[in-house]
A and B are shown apart, each in its own frame.
Chain A
């Protein structure tokens, strides 16, 4: 048990700091709570992702040709920590580098593996077709149908909550290829070009007003058979991998965003003149306790993970950090009293930042596995309770 990493790791962190100081675009230095919602990816964001890749800082554990530098697990953690503590994202569209790239490398054939560098560098923008109107938490119930007809699949159906679909060139799409077997056993993954005739995208306006999600409709869309990823009807295994890739380092971001939010709450409390109020003080103390203890839990889980043991701690992190963030931002609104209802940039604390953060945080306990699903999973897989 020790507090500091070794010298080699600290040198790694120093090198990263120099890189960030030199290359990070001004737009990302503001430490905003959330990004996204753009209708298109700004040039500075494309350049930033490419710079990270070219300097081996996109996915540090990967080899240089995949945007990394063969970093160790500890170094990867230091990397995530440094970015998260500054509130700097690697990309404005996480699907490509966090889900599609790693999945192609793990499950794809040689030709598909060759698509991974562009996915990670952001040269190709990907969306991931998972959720459907009747397949949300019950993802395996998806019904978008792909029928093999000669050397092509014909795809019909609908996806929803598809992030970045409106700006993507390709879709990593989960489809039903065998409706006659148990639902987990008839799913496959297809790479679908968004330009394909029969693919229609309708942006989905969210409660915050932006449209990073879309509905995607498939009507007799013809997809070449070689676009199948992995084996036919073996897609569920890939789904599980996708979700694991998505979750791997997210706790770091969640914890540091929570700690940054507490610094913000201190500012708001002072600005609104409630920083001497004993109720406010106790609440902020409690929120800090939760954020700080979750930071320790994340690192503890990482320590087991880095030693090759399983890390049940990490099952709690998605659930706990997203629930905490909702409460943090709601508290920021409470601290503003009547002004919590005002989003006018001229009148609201920090230009309406907290109201925006609060609205966005509501998605955190829904997307990527709802809090309720997380609790069910922890109950059965971590505590070993019998299935209901």
Chain B
């Protein structure tokens, strides 16, 4: 297993980091809380050209998603490139090319009322990411099959979410549209890819939390010295770093396993999402503790990441759920 990046991959990551640091400042992210259209220009001018990564090697897509997670990139990027595009591509839908080109946006509607992404025949789907903000919704329906519908043709009910930036909706499943069958194996591969993509975004979240907490511990002085010199805080930060590092490695490995269609791809997917969930949630809670009172204010960005960490852990399977799936693979 060789984790080293090629020169092109290093360049992809550096370009994305520079671009997003400049074009997606915290002020823009916060503007989207009240008005999601605040990110429209960012999407149009800078981000949509990166949607094509959802069509290629997952290892490359993962690099961009980590950067996206670090700045909490608002807008339809995740739903379009990590959910919609791989699914419509798997059924050769004519919209795939336009989605890859960033000309249309979309999301996937699949989860049932329990929040599980399993094929079911309930009349309403939920946890539909950015359902009210994209052009098209691809429904996964019994068969399994995929029905792609314009958002304007379905009833979307926004549900307020813990995450202030990523929106969720309930969507009524349309009955008049003829779905296209999808091979169950292909569907599960699309979901694996989406799960690892989300885990990658969460690595960006835990890296933001770690970096800011370490930096704050070096700056903040109490009892005449930086609080980062106290062992109690040092060990907490070491624990955050430990969980972040192994989750980041697990995500990179899962992306490689999926790209290579390795036998280990399913296990690797569960490991990546569970590890990323633990790292992001733990990093958010411990990061809050390291920041003390200042981290508990609305003005500080920490709570945006805290909310994102917990919401993302809950999406596409919590760490507990993925642990149970690993147990199924280990114990039968």
Contacts and interface: CB of A to CB of B under 8 A. Distances in A.
Given A293-B250, A300-B3, A388-B229, A285 B214 contact: no
B322 interface: yes
B72 interface: no
B242 interface: yes
Contacts of B322: 285, 289
A286 interface: yes
Given A286-B323, A292-B267, A303 B246 contact: no
Interface stretch (B98-106, B155-163, B169-177, B270-278): B270-278
B316 interface: no
B183 interface: no
Contacts of A282: 320, 323-324, 327
Interface in A277-301: 278, 281-282, 284-286, 288-290, 292-294, 296-297, 299-300
Contacts of B242: 316, 319-320, 378
Nearest to B60: A1
Nearest to A265: B330
B241 interface: yes
Contact of A384 (B214, B271, B274, B320): B214
Interface string B235-250: 1011001100111111
A207 interface: no
A316 B246 CA distance: 9
Contact of A297 (B2, B4, B59, B245): B245
A387 B229 contact: yes
A266 interface: yes
Given A5-B2, A383-B214, A293 B238 contact: no
A2 interface: yes
A303 B249 CA distance: 11
Contacts of A385: 214, 217-218, 226, 228-229, 234, 237
Interface stretch (B20-28, B141-149, B256-264, B298-306): B256-264
A284 B229 contact: no
B2 A313 contact: no
Interface in B259-314: 260, 262, 267-268, 270-272, 274-275
Contacts of B255: 1
B1 A3 contact: yes
Nearest to B332: A275
A269 B275 CA distance: 24
Interface residues of B, number: 54
A284 B330 contact: yes
A245 interface: no
B4 A1 contact: yes
A387 B235 CA distance: 12
A269 B248 CA distance: 30
A266 B331 contact: yes
Contact of A304 (B4, B217, B271): B4
Contacts of B245: 297, 312-313, 316
Contacts of B9: 1
Q: Is the interface of B mostly helix, strand, loop or mixed?
A: helix
A382 interface: yes
Contacts, number: 165
B268 A292 contact: yes
Contacts of B323: 282, 285-286, 289
Contacts of A270: 331
B37 interface: no
Contact of B330 (A266, A294, A316, A320): A266
A4 B242 CA distance: 26
Interface in B209-237: 214, 217-218, 225-226, 228-231, 234-235, 237
A69 interface: no
A300 B252 CA distance: 9
Given A289-B322, A289-B326, A303-B4, A1 B252 contact: yes
Nearest to B57: A1
A290 B272 CA distance: 10
A248 interface: no
A88 interface: no
Contacts of B3: 1, 296, 299-300, 302-304
Interface string B26-63: 00000000000000000000000000000000010000
A286 B327 CA distance: 8
B5 interface: yes
Contacts of B230: 388
A383 B238 contact: yes
Nearest to B237: A383
A296 B246 contact: yes
B51 to A, nearest CB: 21
Contacts of B4: 1, 303-304, 306-307
B331 A275 contact: yes
A33 B330 CA distance: 20
Of A2, A293, A294, chain B has the most CB atoms within 10 Å of the CB of A293
A379 interface: yes
A210 interface: no
Contact of B247 (A293, A302, A306): A293
Contacts of B319: 286, 289
Contact of B324 (A281, A294, A296): A281
A299 B249 contact: yes
Given A281-B331, A316-B241, A378-B241, A3 B260 contact: yes
Interface in A333-388: 375-376, 378-380, 382-388
A3 B1 CA distance: 4
Interface of A: 1-5, 74, 262, 266, 269-270, 275, 278, 281-282, 284-286, 288-290, 292-294, 296-297, 299-300, 302-304, 306-307, 312-313, 316, 319-320, 375-376, 378-380, 382-388
Given A299-B3, A388-B234, 8 more contacts: A1-B9, A290-B246, A296-B271, A297-B250, A300-B253, A320-B242, A379-B238, A383-B214
* Top-6 shortest CB links A-B: A285-B323, A281-B327, A379-B234, A285-B326, A296-B249, A293-B250
